[in-house]
Amino acid sequence: MKTNQSAAYFFLAPAISAILLFFFVPVIAALLMSFTDFDIYSLGDYSFLKFVGFKNYISLFHDPLFWTALKNTFYFVSVAGPLSILVSLVSAMLLNSKLVKFRGIFRLSYFIPVVTTLVAVAVVWRFVYHPRFGILNYFLSFFSIDPIDWLGDPIWAMPSIILMSVWKNFGYNMIIFIAGLQNIPEYLYEAAEIEGANRWQQFKSITLPMLAPTTLFVSIITMIGFFQIFAEPYIMTQGGPLNSTLSIVQYMYQEGFRWWNMGYSAAIAFTLFFIIFVGTTIQFKIQKSSELI
């Protein structure tokens, strides 16, 4: 038994040491950095580095821009998250229906946005949202709605980003949902039909419970991904207008790699980590308690 174990450790050693070296060491270094004022001055001369304790975290709580970024991120996650899951679930069920023809083509076309380069997508969407020439405002003009400056108006900018992100990302979750749906044994539905259950009852009592593990997985992955929202607003609006689309990760990136306030930036990173950690724990708790029922 003992020899078996040491053999296992021997074979695991490369992987474990790689993880230790390239994951834990940087994370711990970043944690330590978040307690210093590491910046461009310190980069030139380490004697300009100061241990500041929790000062970064404290000034973070007094930083209005951080709160704006946090608010924007929560706004994004709480709207785009459920919306994305809903859209992907609905499209997965449509594609899984036996009535649909050319399933492959639909599946492919819904999945294409996921694999398309974001920059290319952003260019197209910027035109869609253009206040004077955009197709969206053109459609709205049929309903005599005044043109909206989608990306330029602080109120509309975030919904615009959400719409684009959902469109871009739902295909991925859809594929996972399709896999989940195909794993539900057909006889359950047959039995339900014999018992006289209608479509809605079937969905509520068979599809949803059977999909629960998939839904948990999808919602956690989506939440983690959306909390780290960066590229979409970065390319579409650079966080503007009036910082209405500035996300936490973008703020962290700006502070760290644009202005080289590494210590402060690390503090933002760990705050975000803590938020995601709490969010994921809550989701697990909810899932567990619903299983008990």
State which residue, 65 or 114, has the beta carbon closest to other proteins.
65
126 in contact with other proteins (CB under 8 A): yes
Tell me how far, at minimum, the Cβ of 118 lies from other proteins, in Å. Answer: 15
Query: Binding to other proteins by residue 258, rule CB under 8 A?
Result: yes
Residue 11 beta carbon to other proteins: minimum distance, rounded to whole angstroms? 29
Number of residues in contact with other proteins, rule: CB under 8 A? 34
Q: Does 57 participate in binding other proteins (rule CB under 8 A)?
A: no
What three-state secondary structure class fits 51?
strand
159 binds other proteins (CB under 8 A): no
CA distance linking residue 94 with residue 103, whole number of Å: 9
Q: Among 3, 4, 6, 47, which residue interacts with other proteins (rule: CB under 8 A)? A: 47
Identify which of residues 147 and 279 has a Cβ nearer to other proteins in the complex.
147
Q: How far is residue 86's CA from residue 177's CA, in Å, rounded to a whole number?
A: 11
Position 67 contacts other proteins (CB under 8 A): no
- Whether 197 and 64 have beta carbons less than 8 Å apart is answered as no
End-to-end Cα spacing for the chain = 41
To other proteins, the closest distance from the beta carbon of 287 in angstroms equals 41
Sorted by sequence, the CB contacts under 8 Å of residue 150 that are 6+ apart come out as 129, 131, 134, 136, 137, 156, 157, 160
Taking CB under 8 A as the rule, does residue 257 contact other proteins? yes
The torsion angles phi and psi of 121, rounded to 5 degrees, stand at -60, -45
Query: In whole angstroms, how close is the CB of 60 to other proteins at the nearest point?
Result: 12
Rounded CA separation 237/211 (Å): 36
We find the least distance from the C-beta atom of residue 40 to other proteins, in angstroms, to be: 6
Taking CA atoms, 215 is separated from 134, 254, 287, in Å, by 36, 34, 10
The answer to whether 226 and 77 are in contact (CB under 8 A) is yes
**Stretch of residues binding other proteins (CB under 8 A), selected from 1-9, 164-172, 176-184, 240-248:** 240-248
Cβ proximity of 43 and 279 under 8 Å: no
Distance in Å, CB of 134 to other proteins, minimum? 10
Residues in the site for other proteins, rule: CB under 8 A?
37, 39-41, 43-48, 50, 59, 126-127, 129-132, 149-153, 237-238, 240-243, 254, 257-260
